[in-house]
Amino acid sequence: MTEARITHIGGPTALVEVDGWRILTDPTFDPPGQRYFFGWGTTSRKVAGPSISPDELGPIDAVLVSHHHHGDNLDPSARDLLPRWGRVFTTKAGAKKLGGGATGLAAWDTTTLEAPGKPTITITATPCRHGPAGSDPITGPVVGFDLTWDGQEHGSLWVTGDTVFYRGLRDVAERRDVGTVLLHLGGVKFRYLSGGLRYTMDAKESLKLLDLLGATHVVPVHYEGWTHFKQGRSEAQRVLDASRHAGSVTWVDPGEAVTVQV
């Protein structure tokens, strides 16, 4: 049995440490106060900075970027730091834009992360739909990442990426044996574009996914730090605490960490 240590840095950003690997997800290290433009009249302002600075972070072996074109998943500070952070895995469109040898993946593509003295990690890109049906031309391509390696006893470690619940996530539940979920929430909405439509799951919607997965550990992220996140921790926690999945959910404050059996 192996352990994974997950440190929540803020927003969607987490550090995953397992068997000598140090993997960063959706890095965001800009200070608060900046405004980000996502296209089609959508904007957001960052209201909280990272709990750990890049200088405090230490060496990084790999970075998982679910999508490169939204500043709440890859901001300018983090983008400048990518060359010093080892291998980068992202969408095919993101790899073309980022360059530097970034590996581009479409849903269900696989690749490996290898190094002497460490277990080989197989990375499988998983489907995402970052909004309602038909929104892909607006929101652009997004992927999640499912990580497997020898020694896992409770299933894979899955980073959902920014997505609503739809058929593609049902496919993940059917095709993958997921044990630990880094769950992107936030109930994202944009006043001028979405009306009542959401662009990421809220807690109630995530229950449909958790019902299918039966995961051992659920660590929510992507619910604080930007103004377009419309469901914060307190509301989301009430929903999840009242569900049958309450015992599997661990809330990790920015700057704090949890160690889980995988």
Task: Report the percent of the chain where pLDDT is more than 90.
Answer: 89
- State residue 189's pLDDT score: 87
Q: Where are the domains of the chain?
A: 3-261
- State residue 190's pLDDT score: 75
The residue-averaged pLDDT of 112-138 equals 92
- State residue 43's pLDDT score: 83
Task: Report the percent of the chain where pLDDT is more than 70.
Answer: 97
Q: Where are the alpha helices (DSSP H) in the chain?
A: 54-57, 76-81, 92-98, 136-139, 167-175, 203-213, 233-241
Tokens read off for 60: 């990084």
The residue-averaged pLDDT of 184-189 equals 95
- State residue 197's pLDDT score: 84
CB distance 62 to 113 below 8 Å: yes
The residue-averaged pLDDT of 37-64 equals 92
The residue-averaged pLDDT of 195-210 equals 92
CB distance 111 to 103 below 8 Å: yes
- State residue 121's pLDDT score: 98
Query: Roughly how many angstroms between the first and final C-alpha of the chain, as a whole number?
Result: 7
The residue-averaged pLDDT of 29-49 equals 89
- State residue 37's pLDDT score: 86
Confidence band, pLDDT 50/70/90 cuts, at residue 38: confident
Please check the confidence at residue 39 and state whether its pLDDT lies above 90.
Answer: no
The residue-averaged pLDDT of 165-187 equals 98
- State residue 134's pLDDT score: 78
Distance CA 37, CA 164 (A): 21
The residue-averaged pLDDT of 9-26 equals 98
Identify the CATH number of the domain defined by range 3-261: 3.60.15.10
- State residue 137's pLDDT score: 74
| Residue with token string 């739909």 | 129
Rg from Cα positions in the chain: 17
Please check the confidence at residue 194 and state whether its pLDDT lies above 60.
Answer: no
Give the pTM. Answer: 0.96
- State residue 262's pLDDT score: 94
The residue-averaged pLDDT of 16-28 equals 98
Please check the confidence at residue 93 and state whether its pLDDT lies above 60.
Answer: yes
- State residue 136's pLDDT score: 79
Please check the confidence at residue 193 and state whether its pLDDT lies above 90.
Answer: no
Confidence band, pLDDT 50/70/90 cuts, at residue 195: low
